[in-house]
Amino acid sequence: MPNNRPNPAEDIVREPPNKARDMAHGTSTDNSNVDEPSLGEPSLEDVVERLKRIRPEVLLGTKLSSLDLAGQCIGRYKIQKIVGRGAFGIVYLALDQQLGREVALKVPRPDVLFDGEKLRRFESEAATAATLEHRSIIPIYEADLTGPTPYIASAYCAGPNLGEWLANHKTSIPIEQAARFVIKLAEAVDYAHRQGVLHRDLKPSNIMLEPCREDGMGENQLQHFEPRLTDFGLAKLLESDRQETRSSIMLGTPRYMAPEQFDRQLGTVGVQSDVYALGAILYELLLGQPVAEGSSHMELMLSILERRVVPPSRVRSSVTPTLEAICLKALEKRPQNRYLTSSDLAKDLGRYLRGEPTLAKPLGLPSRVVKWIGLNPLAAGLLSVVSISVLGFTLGVFWHNFRLSEQLEVSDILRIESTESANRLLRASYVSDMHLAQQAILSGRFSEARSRLLRYQSGRAESLASDFAWRMLNDQLERTITPIDLQGSLTSLASSDRLKTSVAGSSDGKLQFFDSTSGVQLAVIQAHEGNINAIAFAVDGTSLVSGGDDGMLCVWNVSPLHEGGDIKLVARKKAHEDDLLCLAVSPNGKWIASGSADNTVRLWNFEDLEPSGELTEHTDWVRALDFSPDSTSLASASQDGTIRLWDLETKKEVDRFLGHDMYVLCVKYHPTEPLLVSGGKDRSIRFWDLSTGQQLQQINAFNGWIRSLCFSQDGNKLAVVAEDPRVMLFQRDTDGQYRREKNWLTDHNAGRGICFVDSDRQIISASAEGASIWSYDVDLANEHLSESHGSPNQIVSLPDSHSLILATSQSAQEIDSRSGSLGRLLVLRTRGQDFLKIAISSAGTRFAYLQNVGPKELGQWNLFVRNASSMNRQLVHKNSVSGWNGADISPSGQFVASASSDLKLRVWQAPDFRNPTIVYSPTDRDFDNLFIDDTGKLLILHPHYTNDLFILDVETARPIEEFHDILSLHSRSPEGHLLSIAMSDYSLLIYNTQLRQVEQKLPNHEDPIIGACFSPTESLVATMTNKGEIALWALDTGEMLMQFQAGFRNPMTKACLCFASDGNALFAAGGIVKVSEEGRPKFTELRVWRVP
């Protein structure tokens, strides 16, 4: 077998025969900089001499004529050709034979292998760049730094680098294109900075241009390329404290190096050094010439350090004062005068494009005079000789005004930056708090959730309390826990589900009655002297018994309470000489049992409170009592550590349970099975089998004494409170074991009682500090609104009304957003007349739809526009035999666009919708989804059964942007300039049609996105996946605020979302598969989430 491994000697000493045109990733030398010397680049003779000294044997049989390794393999990569050279490496186009893809393979230059510092930097490039994942940074696939030939394999970019492109295109670049291009670069650089990586060698030849089109059209326009940043060979970790050598300080390409890279007295090399390089690139894009000129390193260095930058408007008059100010601010000599971050530069360019105030201010007259003197010192000197006195006075005034202007400018900058910084921090804090608040609610940490939500109810943050996510979570929290306004220190609790009434006893001897579901107080009575230690309702709910430290046993008639009457004392008796600590009423209504600090249990006839027996086996205080469900036995728990069972007929002890190490403080019978549960001072709850006397389960999950526990009516849930700030809910599994389902954190310690209420849908807990109602199955407010035939197309919330328009593949109909009742039928599918697309304007005033006419097999389609208020229908295009693929209406309703199978795109304009503009499709595929913007100048096209998306300029009929690997085009913002695009990696792109750039990328979802929408204020984006998972995202930060399940009853294949026009509700229409031979949606289910 032939050996395909390259000769290592050849790897070291080969030299390329010519300057190949770089077409790939790497630090290539662009044509514009061919004559520029590079720092520290050795000659071929120097390399040979060093090789002779270090490895003379390597030279045997080796030719120095070429470093072309075409056809040879390095690792699994087969070399095809050289595509570039840099200071540290040579870049080859290679084929990954394992994955079958082309890569850019970078290997060290021969001299690098024998230069420890350079080799370290080559290795550092791999380690540094591999940590970066950004759409505008070329990714590293693999690196091998220990093999015979070290290499770095990265993505291959088929386009030229920016330096080559500029050298071949001498015509001026449109100003807005230059600004957008640098915005993308600055965002990528800022991302690297936030990852702790400083580039230090930004220049046109390190910016690859990836074509947006595969056919090569548009290569003369910079907007048809995506910038891809590369070559991190000189990159440095920002937090690195490694001492830099003098040579490393001077590393870089002089023309784009910041002044402090030459002279450290001007400042440290840091983030603002890359800002300077971005400013130099912007300058060159605007003017077609570099910011610094010089034939040698010394001339370049002096130009950068000492000469003032020529204002761009002097070379190109169309450069506006604001853009000039931005460029000059980035190119300030001292780092502290530049933008603080690359992000600040990107944002200022964005403000410029949107016509908003910028941080950088155009120079006033005094500033321009001072700048002119710096640029023209000789002329200024001659002028001063001629009119020294006049000029002196004038310059004095100018200087004063200049200083004042500078101070005002600094003040404005500080004010804007301070406000923006504060707003960014506030928004970042808000996003984090909403996400954490939802997690806190789900895990029962309600105090934490409330604390996070309360931060936005006052001060500067108050405006965020109107945000949909905040109101949604606050509503869920308020419905989950209802604090009850009770007085005093609570000592006991009881509830009657029949009367929907609860009562709490307190340390001042009062009984406080309240509604079990709302917490509204009903009555307060003085019942005892001192603590009320025990209260219990009779089974019928009309009677209540109470006992306390005064040893008194009281029976109360509470049935008049809900009729506006007074609670009446039925009987009162001195039951114990010592404190009465616990009570129980038998289910059959015959007995009352009381336990005391005198160590006894006493039985009383319910009717007349006459004694019925005394149980005296306990040796310490009796703390808890419970009757069996059939009223034949009684369980008692004591501080003596025992649980005793008593036969009520014989009044004898029949069983005893030992296991608790300390006091037993509570005990309960299971409502349907021979099971007993107990809890005590040892912080455990134990389950006992009454048929065998064995312990079945023990749970140690508490930080304090177990004070009270209660079974649900079916016995499948167990609620527990203890001497810690938690309320716990346990659910029984299929194996009979109880496992924790909820763990709520409260504001209180010292639990005193717990009860299930509202048919076990809620729990009431009491502690010494207060009481609360817990709704343990509460989800976000969600309701089924309506159901319609067909697959969902679009939902529009009509402004200033309570109506929606829901468009499906079979109809468009108004729906009352409050009740779900159906309103006007705007369009209806008739027999044999299918709808291909229904599109509605943002205000719901107009909608366009395609409908077939005549036999379906003829494929004859009409395009209609209908006015929603008058219901007048206008035929726009008749009998398109070629067939329509899709249609859309602009947000304002002024433009209608359609796509047909003859590959023609038509744009009609209101009011007559006649004489359309016809544009030919950029592809031979049909379009099943398209949008038109409000200017009528942009078409957004998604070809049928493809992963491509085109943004087409209607006037030039050429694509200005292309996206690949998309799943679908979903929605646009209320103002119409933002689009949501679902990608195949399950992320969502937000594209700005005004700026013509991607504004945000929402991170990958777990499943494909089938629906998305923008909030009315465009601050939120809602997304839904095919699994029914809805997420709310902050548009400015791209971070998720919260997520929840939509609750659709069947699997979904298509969906659309819409916020109410007032921002108080979110609507979701899901395409539900019910009965369908084709498996396509036959019904659309509409659901809504409302906020107060």
Joined tokens for residue 654: 């029949």
Contact 609, 573 (CB under 8 A): yes
Per-residue confidence band for 8, with pLDDT thresholds at 50, 70 and 90: very low
Q: Would you call 1075 exposed, middle or buried from its count of C-beta atoms within 10 A (0-12, 13-18, 19+)? A: exposed
Out of 14-23, 407-416, 476-485, 505-514, least confident range: 14-23
Torsion angles phi and psi, residue 1029, rounded to 5: -90, 120
Tally of CA atoms within 13 A in the half-sphere of 307 that contains its CB: 16
652/507 Cα distance (integer angstroms)? 34
- Bond before 911 cis per omega within 30 degrees: yes
* Residue 33 confidence (pLDDT): 38
Give the pTM.
0.54
Query: Is 529's pLDDT higher than 90?
Result: yes
For residue 785, give the nearest of 809, 814, 818, 810 by alpha carbon.
818
Task: Taking the CA atoms of 906, 909, 913 and 916 in sequence, report the sign of the dihedral they define.
Answer: negative
**Helix axis angle, 446-454 to 468-480, nearest 10°:** 140
Cross-strand pairs, 144: 151
Tokens 């009684």, residue located: 634
* Residue 941 confidence (pLDDT): 86
Joined tokens for residue 938: 């942009």
For residue 343, give the nearest of 227, 186, 237, 220 by alpha carbon.
186
User: 605 by DSSP, 3-state: which?
Assistant: strand
Q: Would you call 429 exposed, middle or buried from its count of C-beta atoms within 10 A (0-12, 13-18, 19+)? A: middle
> Length of the chain in residues, anyone?
1092
Query: Is 1073's pLDDT higher than 70?
Result: no
Q: Helix, strand, coil shares of the chain as percentages rounded to 5?
A: 25, 35, 40
More confident residue, 160 or 845: 160
More confident residue, 602 or 966: 602
| H or E stretch at 382 | helix 377-386
| H or E stretch at 227 | strand 225-229
* Residue 673 confidence (pLDDT): 94
Which CA distances in Å does 472 have to 179, 408, 932? 39, 44, 33
More confident residue, 429 or 923: 429
* pLDDT tens digit sequence for 728-751: 889 999 889 998 887 776 666 668
Per-residue confidence band for 502, with pLDDT thresholds at 50, 70 and 90: very high
1068/1091 Cα distance (integer angstroms)? 15
CB neighbourhood size of 422 (10 A):
11
Q: What is the DSSP secondary-structure string of 584-596?
A: EE-TTSSEEEEEE
Tally of CA atoms within 13 A in the half-sphere of 335 that contains its CB: 22
Query: Is 10's pLDDT higher than 60?
Result: no
**Helix axis angle, 446-454 to 388-442, nearest 10°:** 160
Query: Is 226's pLDDT higher than 50?
Result: yes
Joined tokens for residue 545: 């018994």
Joined tokens for residue 954: 């209607």
Cross-strand pairs, 613: 603
Dihedral of CA atoms 275, 277, 281, 283 in degrees, nearest 10, equals 80
Angle at the Cα of 137 from the Cα atoms of 987 and 952, rounded to 5 degrees: 60
For residue 755, give the nearest of 518, 504, 442 by alpha carbon.
504
Spatial CB neighbours of 398, under 8 Å, sequence gap ≥ 6: 365, 366, 369, 370
Per-residue confidence band for 555, with pLDDT thresholds at 50, 70 and 90: very high
Residue 419 amino acid letter = T
Which CA distances in Å does 156 have to 77, 93, 102, 228, 267? 13, 7, 6, 11, 37
Cross-strand pairs, 918: 906
For residue 409, give the nearest of 483, 369, 347, 358 by alpha carbon.
358
- The structural domains of the chain, ordered by start, are 8-155 (3.30.200.20), 162-381 (1.10.510.10), 382-480 (no CATH), 485-773 (2.130.10.10), 830-964 (2.130.10.10)
* pLDDT tens digit sequence for 845-855: 776 767 655 54
Angle at the Cα of 200 from the Cα atoms of 11 and 1000, rounded to 5 degrees: 105
Torsion angles phi and psi, residue 542, rounded to 5: -90, -20
User: For the CA atoms of the chain, what is the radius of gyration?
Assistant: 39
Looking at residue 323, the DSSP 8-state letter turns out to be H
Do the strands 904-909 and 568-574 form a parallel or antiparallel pair, or are they unpaired? Answer: unpaired
Residue 754 region, left (φ>0) first, then alpha (ψ -120 to 50), else beta? beta
Tokens 């509570």, residue located: 666
Residue 337 amino acid letter = N
58/26 Cα distance (integer angstroms)? 28
Contact 592, 604 (CB under 8 A): yes
508/777 Cα distance (integer angstroms)? 35
C-alpha 608 chain-centroid distance: 66
Contact 934, 979 (CB under 8 A): no
* Residue 22 confidence (pLDDT): 36
Which CA distances in Å does 401 have to 396, 398, 873? 9, 5, 65
* Residue 943 confidence (pLDDT): 80
Cross-strand pairs, 792: 808
* Residue 856 confidence (pLDDT): 45
Starting at the edge strand found earlier in the chain, the sheet holding 783-789 runs 783-789, 1083-1090, 1065-1072, 1052-1059
709/678 Cα distance (integer angstroms)? 8
Q: What is the DSSP secondary-structure string of 1004-1066?
A: PPSS-EEEEEE-TTSSEEEEEETT-EEEEEETTTTEEEEEEE---SS-EEEEEEEE-TTSSEE
Cross-strand pairs, 751: 767
* Residue 833 confidence (pLDDT): 53
Contact 697, 737 (CB under 8 A): yes
Out of 225-234, 376-385, 682-691, 922-931, least confident range: 376-385
For residue 321, give the nearest of 290, 289, 365 by alpha carbon.
365
Torsion angles phi and psi, residue 72, rounded to 5: -90, 165
b/e burial code for range 351-365 (CB count within 10 A of at least 16 → b): bbbeeeebbbbbbbe
Do the strands 1029-1034 and 1020-1025 form a parallel or antiparallel pair, or are they unpaired? Answer: antiparallel
* pLDDT tens digit sequence for 518-527: 888 899 999 9
* Residue 414 confidence (pLDDT): 61
Torsion angles phi and psi, residue 779, rounded to 5: -115, 180
Looking at residue 830, the DSSP 8-state letter turns out to be B
Instruction: Work out the average pLDDT over 230-241.
Output: 59
Contact 536, 583 (CB under 8 A): yes
Query: Is 596's pLDDT higher than 90?
Result: yes
* Residue 558 confidence (pLDDT): 92
Instruction: Work out the average pLDDT over 853-882.
Output: 60
Contact 780, 1087 (CB under 8 A): no
For residue 850, give the nearest of 890, 891, 878 by alpha carbon.
878
Joined tokens for residue 61: 């049989």
Per-residue confidence band for 321, with pLDDT thresholds at 50, 70 and 90: very high
* pLDDT tens digit sequence for 763-772: 998 988 888 8
* Residue 427 confidence (pLDDT): 81
* Residue 50 confidence (pLDDT): 44
